[in-house]
Structure 1
Amino acid sequence: MPRFSSTVNTLFNWTAMLVAIATGLVVTPLIISHLGKPLYGAWSLVLTIVGYSALLNVGVTPAISHYVAIYRGQKDTAAMAGVISNGLILLALLCALVVGGAWLAAEPVSELLDPSGQMRQTFATMLRLGGLGAACSFLGVYFMSILQAYELFLPNNAVVAFYHVYRTVAIAVVLGLGHGPIGLMAAHISAEALKALLHAVLCYRLLPHLRPDWRAFSPRTGLMLISFGALSTLLSVGDLLRFQLDQAVIGKFLDFTQIAIYAVAAMLVRYMLRIVGAFVDVLTPRLTSLTGGGHAAMTTELFLRSLTISSTISLILCAGLVLLGWPFLRLWLGQGFQGSVAVLWILAVSFTADLMQAPAVSVMFARERHGLLAAINMIEGACNLALSIYLAPRMGIVGVALGTAAPMLVNKLLVQPLVVSRELGLSYWRYWRPVGLPLVLMALVTAAGFALGLPYDNTMGWLGFLGWAVAVAAPFAAFMVFTLVRHGVDLTRGAGQPTP
């Protein structure tokens, strides 16, 4: 299968993301209408807790993707085969660990988060089933990481899009049949298992030269994967502490209804992360292959080009969420979620500071210097957790959001740029220069939107919402087109293209 340009691959990723967002927007009110806010909050919290199990991955799948891309750049097929063989063995052990851990931890966690006991048994059962879903997800991500290392984004995204459609239909069916939260989790597991199977078939058909071989197990290769992945895990721990623990804090100090209100805002911000991530996922294997081929100058050039795109995407999404967040929530879920608005604004602004620089993480991974980011993210995450715990009883879910935002803004606007610019041999000004014009655009559009009263509009209908969304997006879209045309549509033009 031919390898497409970075722009085309990004479009493939965004197509899958649009399917994911569309199905998420359909399924969320469906679940709330069948289960109510408390059970929806419990469901959201279960998925969040199960997501913590990704730490047991110890970064193995990012390491697999990294070294397959490195060895692809070096045209070393034997080394690639050794990486995927050792990675599969490690992941099989981790799958068994996560299923067993979920079974054993279900009761204690349920008792901790639901001391009243009203939903304890249901919550525990959902956690146990969630462990099985996480194991299926582990295997799916393993095969997906190999496809991404080869920049095979079209078939990968076809599976992802199908997964979201199937999952939505399965959830609608089980809820329609009255199976409740347990049926909801069963539908989720079946979707994860199907996705893993389809990704495995794609790897088998598209990459026939790569086959796991149990005889290829090597403690040295396994240690290489774990040592690289350990730093990835620390990076993930920082992300978990600064975002995913929020709902656990709310569950402990507030209640499941408040989790539901917070989760709606967090979900919209998560979509924002996925849209930017769809662009960065395309860059990561290309940057890694360039690094593996010894093209340091080309790596830096591609990084700076990508900053303009990532900042433009992030700022347009931030402007949209701030200006149209409340009209959208009112049209989508009704007046009962007005409490989500303040949380949405706080999280959107703070995560924009992170997402503008998303390629920085990719380039540090490519250079195997992500340990520096892991360290500062751990500090940020610890500050986030401490602040959230302190503010939750005093300010509710707004305090939890502020506990996330304050350390993130300090890290992403000051500390991380200094670390990355120094690593790449760039001045602080040169690092931030690609962000300048998109930031000015965002300030002008947001100021105009507030002057028109868009964030507080209680009369806007769907047609008006779509019209204003287009108006907000238009200046950013024009700037994006100009940037892509300037670089020959493909961002990698002139940045080198290592042979697969």
Structure 2
Amino acid sequence: MSQLKKGALLNYTTIFLTNVVGLFITPFILSHVGQAEYGIYIAIGALVGTISLLDFGLNNTIVRFVAKYRAENDRKGEENFLATTMLIYAVISTIVFIIGFTFYGYIDTYFTKMTPDEISIAKTIFVLLIFNIAIGLPGGSFTGICYGYEKFVFPKTVNIIRYILRTVTVVAVLTMGGKAIALVVIDTVFNGIFLCIEIYYVFFKLKVKFILHEFKFKYVKQIFGYSTWIFIFAIVSILQWKAGHWILGRVATPEVLTIYGIGIVLGTYYGAFSTAISSVFLPRATKMAVGNATGEELTSMMIKIGRISFIILMYILGAFALFGNQFVDLWVGKTLGEAGSRETWLIALLIMLAYTLPLVQGFGNSILEAKSKLSFKAILYLSFLILGAILGAFLAQSYGAIGMITGTVTGWLIVQNVMNFYYHKVIGLNILRFFKELAYKTLPTVGLVFIISYFINYIPGTGWINFIVKAIVYSVVYATLIYKLGLIAFEKDLFKQYFAPILNKLNFHAKTK
């Protein structure tokens, strides 16, 4: 199996681990550190995570340029490029320390809703995380070098091992009485250890060298010229997922931050399931866009990918809308309480509703990238997410976490509607046809499933067994009706191809008995 295929497999393994293990580890951490400390941990993490923007997209730039120099067999150019990026990272790390030192003195005046003890915990976590960012930003370049050398297996395997060991260590330390600060100490230690492992691999296995043969500002200009739009999309990501944390950190208590943070986590899990499936089709889609495929051909591919994503997303969204409140209450209700669990569920549900269309139209981003049209989307997202964050900050004064997420998703919804006009008028996609064929068979079938599944809620009981029974009944109803009524021929063939090996084995065992 090639490095690329192994890397893809390891990538899906990572997605599975982070999402599934995350679902189990979150209530464990929450119950051991407490709602207030968990909120501090999330808020400071989001605040320091914003400083990671200083990476300016250099990691992606390293992958691109290392691959370029290797293709050209330009060893000297590669050495000079890597030495130049290390000098840039040295400046960035210095700036991180300066910003961290400056903001440290204002933590107690910024987080006005925290007690003196909570401020002390926040300051300790802040110092540790600033150190993590300062070494983590240049450290990430070694992963980029591995990718540039098309060595995907080693860094991804190391990442999986680190995640597993980190999870086991967290469970052990918290069981022995550790709190939020212990979580950051664990991450700091593991980051240092595994960074040393990657450095060893790059220097001694790949034989990479960092040699500054000459320093010219044109190299710096070239580096930042490529990373500019990557940097802007990083700002967009920060505004999407982290802005609410540091806005609420100013106006709300740590307990509210915990409710908001867990709602955000559930919302991001929603996107991961769709991305893991649709990304399989994206390489072919990119080739179509680069090969000057017509608007109708691109629309057909977008429909094909969009329908598969839509079917998966509707299964998850329907389950969460119908039974999500019960799940969240069982999952973290002991710590958050009934009101906190319901608010967490509503935040996650709002994210899922607003996030569905961008995920279903994920192929559109591949088209924009292939046609070098990302600038419009980046500026649009940046503008309206800033406005969404401002609206959220205003609403948060009265409605807390619900107000914050309402403002944020309002920005998302406006952007996606504008993007549909852009796809139609500028890119040449037939958006009306897209929605018509997306809804064909699937939408009425999903509506029927939701109506039938509403009555599943009347199955008596309240515990985990009751929830699992409801989930199984819902899954059977959804899978049966979607397959019988909602799938077109292509999707049924895809389903049969995927499950054919399993079904053949089952038939073989049945015949031999």
Q: Distance in 2 between matches of 1:296 and 1:150?
A: 29
Deviation at 1:42, TM superposition (A): 0.5
Is the partner of 1:452 in helix, strand or coil? helix
Asked whether the 8 Å contact 2:459–2:470 carries over to 1, the reply is no
Q: Distance in 2 between matches of 1:130 and 1:376?
A: 31
Post-superposition CA distance 1:35-79 (Å, at most 9, x none): 21111111111111121122111122233345556x49x943437
| Aligned residue number for residue 497 of structure 1 | none
Which amino acid in the other structure matches residue 429 of structure 2? L
Match 1:399 to one of 400, 403, 423 = 403
| Aligned residue number for residue 134 of structure 1 | 133
Match 1:295 to one of 275, 291, 297 = 291
Question: Highest Rg: 1 or 2?
Answer: 2
Q: Distance in 1 between matches of 2:489 and 2:126?
A: 45
Asked whether the 8 Å contact 2:449–2:481 carries over to 1, the reply is no
Match 1:39 to one of 37, 40, 53 = 37
Which amino acid in the other structure matches residue 217 of structure 2? P
Q: Distance in 2 between matches of 1:488 and 1:361?
A: 29
Asked whether the 8 Å contact 1:61–1:87 carries over to 2, the reply is no
Q: Which stretches in structure 1 are left out of the alignment for 5+ residues?
A: 491-500
Deviation at 1:22, TM superposition (A): 2.9
| Aligned residue number for residue 428 of structure 1 | 431
TM-aligned CA distance change 1:232 to 1:197, over 3 Å:
same
Asked whether the 8 Å contact 1:60–1:225 carries over to 2, the reply is yes
Match 2:385 to one of 344, 360, 381 = 381
**1:60 maps onto 2:64 in alignment:** no
Which amino acid in the other structure matches residue 142 of structure 1? S
Is the partner of 2:106 in helix, strand or coil? helix
TM-aligned CA distance change 1:360 to 1:108, over 3 Å:
farther
Q: Distance in 2 between matches of 1:309 and 1:324?
A: 23
Match 2:270 to one of 263, 269, 272 = 272
Q: Distance in 2 between matches of 1:15 and 1:385?
A: 34
Which amino acid in the other structure matches residue 353 of structure 1? L
Q: Distance in 1 between matches of 2:281 and 2:435?
A: 19
Deviation at 1:385, TM superposition (A): 1.0
TM-score, normalised with respect to structure 2: 0.80
Deviation at 1:473, TM superposition (A): 6.5
TM-score, normalised with respect to structure 1: 0.81
**1:370 maps onto 2:337 in alignment:** no
**1:467 maps onto 2:472 in alignment:** yes
TM-aligned CA distance change 1:191 to 1:447, over 3 Å:
farther
Asked whether the 8 Å contact 2:457–2:470 carries over to 1, the reply is no
Post-superposition CA distance 1:311-332 (Å, at most 9, x none): 4444433333323322221222
Asked whether the 8 Å contact 1:380–1:408 carries over to 2, the reply is yes
| Aligned residue number for residue 160 of structure 2 | 161
Relative contact order, CA 8 A, sep 6+: which one is greater?
Answer: 1
Deviation at 1:307, TM superposition (A): 3.8
**1:409 maps onto 2:408 in alignment:** no
Is the partner of 2:293 in helix, strand or coil? helix
Post-superposition CA distance 1:188-223 (Å, at most 9, x none): 2223334444455565688x4865443365533332
Which amino acid in the other structure matches residue 297 of structure 1? A
**1:170 maps onto 2:173 in alignment:** no
| Aligned residue number for residue 315 of structure 2 | 316
Match 2:351 to one of 347, 359, 363 = 347
Output the aligned Cα RMSD. 3.9
Post-superposition CA distance 1:280-333 (Å, at most 9, x none): 777778877888xx6343995876654444444444333333233222212222
TM-aligned CA distance change 1:339 to 1:204, over 3 Å:
same
Which amino acid in the other structure matches residue 253 of structure 2? D
Which amino acid in the other structure matches residue 350 of structure 2? I
**1:361 maps onto 2:360 in alignment:** no
| Aligned residue number for residue 255 of structure 1 | 253
Q: Distance in 2 between matches of 1:112 and 1:229?
A: 32
Q: % of aligned pairs identical?
A: 18
Asked whether the 8 Å contact 1:304–1:431 carries over to 2, the reply is yes
Q: Distance in 2 between matches of 1:460 and 1:35?
A: 24
Deviation at 1:442, TM superposition (A): 4.5
Asked whether the 8 Å contact 1:329–1:338 carries over to 2, the reply is yes
- Which is worse superposed, 175-184 or 425-434? 425-434
